[in-house]
Every structure is written in C-alpha cells, then in structure tokens.
Amino acid sequence: MILKGRIFHFLDKGNIDNPENSFEYIEKGGLVISGEKIIDIGEFNKIILQYPNYEVIDHKNNIIFPGFIDLHNHFPQVQVIGSYGTQLLEWLRKYTFPEESKFISKDYSKQQAKKFIKLLISNGTTTSVSFCSVHKESVNALFEEASKKNMCMIAGKVMMDRNAPKNLLDTPQTSFQDTQDLISKWHKKNRNFYAITPRFAITSSPEQLKLAGDLSNSNPTCYIQTHLSENRDEIEYTLSLYPKFTHYLDIYLKNGIVNERSLMGHSIHLNDDEISIFNQTRAVAVHCPTSNLFLGSGLFPFEKLYNSNVKLGISTDVGGGTSYSMLNTLDAAYKIQQFRNFSLNPKYSFYWSTLGNAKSLGLEDEIGSFKKGSFADIIVLDSSSDMVSKIRMETCETLAEELFILQTLGGAHSIKSVYIAGKLLL
Ligand code: GUN
Ligand code: ZN
C-alpha cells in the first residue's frame, strides 16, 4: 500500500541549534509499504506511477511520522500511575511494590499486559523498553501480548533480592536462572529482545549485581536496563549500601553492567567522573521528564550531557511518569530545560523520540525512520485535533512551529492512526 500525506522523518541528528539538513519533509508524499517493511518514499505523483497497483490510503493534511520509541517504562505500573503525595523511595514502598506483588498471578499479568500494550499503541508508541515485575510470568505475558501485535518489545524480569517485601524478592541464583531461561525463550524471537534488568543497586545485593554482569557478558546481544541517580535520598542510601565505591555509576561499572547496551534510567545527579564514564562506555542516559517532575526527583542536565557527547534517550517511565504519550513527554522535557535556561529545539525532540532512541538501541536500520528496509512502524499525527490546537494552528507558519504546537498541546488525541509492521492497529 501507499500512505499519502505529509511525510516527515529524520535522517540524522543534525545540529541541535540548526537541524535543517537532518530530516526529510515531503508535503505531498507517498510512503510505500510492502508486507512488514517500508520499500520506498518520495513525491506522491512519482510514487504512484512506480507502484500503480498499490492501494492508496490518503491521510490528507496529517503528518505521517515514525512510531515513537519509549526507552524506559514499567509494565506492572498500569495501576500505579497517578498515585499521590510521595517521592521515590516512599512511592516504591507505598504504591509500587504492593501493586507489583499481584503479578505473581498469570491471569493478572495477562490482563494488565493487554491494557499496557493498548495504552502504548493508542499513544503512538510502537517500540517499548519495559521493566516487568520480579515474576517470570509477567515477562511471558508482556512478550506474548507484544508478539500478537508484531511489536518491537525490549523487556526483562527485574532482579531484586533485598530491601523490598518478601514476596517480591528473588535470590541471586534464582534471578540468574530465571533470566537465563527467559533469554532463551524470548530474546530475538519475533521482534522481541531481552533486557537484563537489575532494578537498582538498593534492591540488589553485591552478589546479584555481579551475576547480572555475568549474564551481560555471556549474552552480548541482550540489553541491560536499570535506574541511576534519580533522587538525592536514593543516592545517599545506595552509597551507604556500597561504601567502597566512589560513586553510584562506579557500582554498576565494577559489576560489568555499563556498556553500549546499557540503558540508565533517570541519570540526573551525576558528577564529572560519571559523565566521562558515560561518554567512554557509550552507555545511554535515559531522561524520564514527567516522572522527574511528578516525583520531584530533579532537573535532568541535558545541555551538559549533550555537550559531553553522552548518548541520550527519552522515555515516559510510566507509572512514575504521568503519561504514556511521548508528545506529553517531550513537552515535559522542554519545560524542565526551561528551568535550566535552555530551550530545547522541537526538531531535536522529535528526532530524539524516534531515530535518536533507535540509535541508542543500535536499531536504527530497523526502526525510528522511513529508511528503506525499516519496519513499517508508522503513526499519523493530527496537529488540530482539539479546539485549542485547532485555533492555534490558524496562525502556524512553519513545520518547527507545528511540531512545537503538537508537543505542547497534543497528546493521545493527536494520534489518528498507528501501523505496526505494516498493519493498521489504530
Ligand atoms: N527505581 C527503582 N525502581 C523504580 C521504579 O519502579 N520507578 C522509578 N521511577 N524509579 C525506580
Ligand atoms: Zn523506572
């Protein structure tokens, strides 16, 4: 089929101050899909001559854009999102751990997985990197549901053997064995990838972190995800549990879980040594803006990390985050940088949440843009989908302005259609 409309995607990062040459925008475009993949892109008038027998789906004045990639979220927190009044450590104790305990049930895991995938898709997210609960069943449920949609899912069982309720704890040995079993079952099956997932240093004993490093070593194509330097109390507690280490990142580094496949959620309060380790190892600092505002965690040092050439990701962190929408997430990222006297360019933000996150995963040949041969993971954005945006769009003159309106005023209601691997799902 051919999708007709205003086609927009990124070719490269470009310069953050002047990203003009880093994207392709075709006002009257045609995007050609065969099976699961994108096979061509160009001016509609030319494309239709080349593919005369293809079905044309006209998206009119809407923007045809790559599906969003959410680099960090928590599937067992569908019922935790929007929980009142606490910061990180108390929030985990009061809301998160009790809810995650329910995922011992296979049926509950399946029910929630269905809801979670539905929420992602309806918000235009076509690739997700997700934490599951400590239970193997939660991982099976999520990968099964993602596989039904042929969606790219990167996920793993949290390894946690201390400082949480007993019914949420594994042991170093069971977490090692369960992770190994889940890797054999799911890694590189359908569009799934496994992420080795020590939750964070507070809930992992030194022995467990060491085994996470061993798993990373023996499974060199798996990702690694964890949390780092989110909140001041968390950092203080962490360093008291690991007194021999020079800083938070040092704990992960010495245990062998910091490399180019590592996704470090939050990464807010970093010292210069940690920043230089990020730079050298090519680990990814994953920004979680709505969560950082909601839990009062801190203001991500975007400019400093960007200028230090650190690989950066962006994500919702649902349920600490308050929205499944990457548009809302970009809006929050912009507002956080305003506190730091830095105005994040909307073109960079849209790059970041698609091709940028794809590059952070090393998957830029498969997702994140309309490069020929990529999976046809596509969303259709309507910039005038509610009264506020519709009226504001009356005076909009440039694409950059339109993107900024979409991220500031848009949300789930801006997503008109979603295709995953060429199949219309919304
Ligand atoms: N640190 C450890 N676990 C979590 C979690 O579930 N959410 C957030 N935001 N931070 C964490
Ligand atoms: Zn998180």
Average pLDDT score over residue span 19-45:
94
Q: Which of 344, 379, 407 is the last residue of a domain?
A: 344
Q: Is residue 399 part of a domain?
A: yes
Q: Is residue 165 part of a domain?
A: yes
Mutate to test the pocket of ligand 1, among 75, 130, 200, 315 (most ligand atoms within 8 A of CB): 200
At 13 the pLDDT is 77
The torsion angles phi and psi of 82, rounded to 5 degrees, stand at 75, 40
Number of domains in the chain: 2
Q: Is residue 353 part of a domain?
A: no
Q: Is residue 352 part of a domain?
A: no
Q: Is the distance from the beta carbon of residue 199 to the nearest atom of ligand 1 less than 6 Å?
A: yes
In a shared domain, residues 251 and 270: yes
Mutate to test the pocket of ligand 1, among 129, 162, 199 (most ligand atoms within 8 A of CB): 199
CA of 244 to the centre of ligand 2 (A): 25
Q: Is the pLDDT of residue 40 over 70?
A: yes
Q: Is residue 354 part of a domain?
A: no
CA of 317 to the centre of ligand 2 (A): 5
In a shared domain, residues 100 and 56: no
Q: Which domain CATH number covers 105?
A: 3.20.20.140
Q: Is residue 359 part of a domain?
A: no
In a shared domain, residues 31 and 99: no
**Alpha carbons within 13 A on the beta-carbon side of 383:** 24
Q: Is the pLDDT of residue 327 over 90?
A: yes
Residue nearest to atom 8 of ligand 1 (CA): 320
Average pLDDT score over residue span 307-336:
98
In a shared domain, residues 40 and 90: no
Pairing of strands 37-43, 23-34: antiparallel
In a shared domain, residues 237 and 180: yes
At 424 the pLDDT is 98
Residue nearest to atom 9 of ligand 1 (CA): 320
Mutate to test the pocket of ligand 1, among 70, 73, 74 (most ligand atoms within 8 A of CB): 74
Q: Which of 311, 344, 377 is the last residue of a domain?
A: 344
Q: Which domain holds residue 187?
A: 68-344
Q: Is residue 350 part of a domain?
A: no
In a shared domain, residues 337 and 319: yes
> Which pLDDT band holds residue 21 (cuts at 50, 70, 90)?
confident
Ligand nearest to the CA of 290: 1
In a shared domain, residues 106 and 255: yes
Q: Which domain CATH number covers 17?
A: 2.30.40.10
Average pLDDT score over residue span 170-184:
98
In a shared domain, residues 170 and 118: yes
Q: Which of 277, 310, 344 is the last residue of a domain?
A: 344
CA of 396 to the centre of ligand 1 (A): 39
Q: Is the distance from the beta carbon of residue 135 to the nearest atom of ligand 1 less than 6 Å?
A: no
Q: Is residue 360 part of a domain?
A: no
Q: Is the pLDDT of residue 356 over 70?
A: yes
In a shared domain, residues 59 and 79: no
Which residues place a Cβ less than 5 A from the ion ligand 2?
A: 265, 317
At 195 the pLDDT is 99
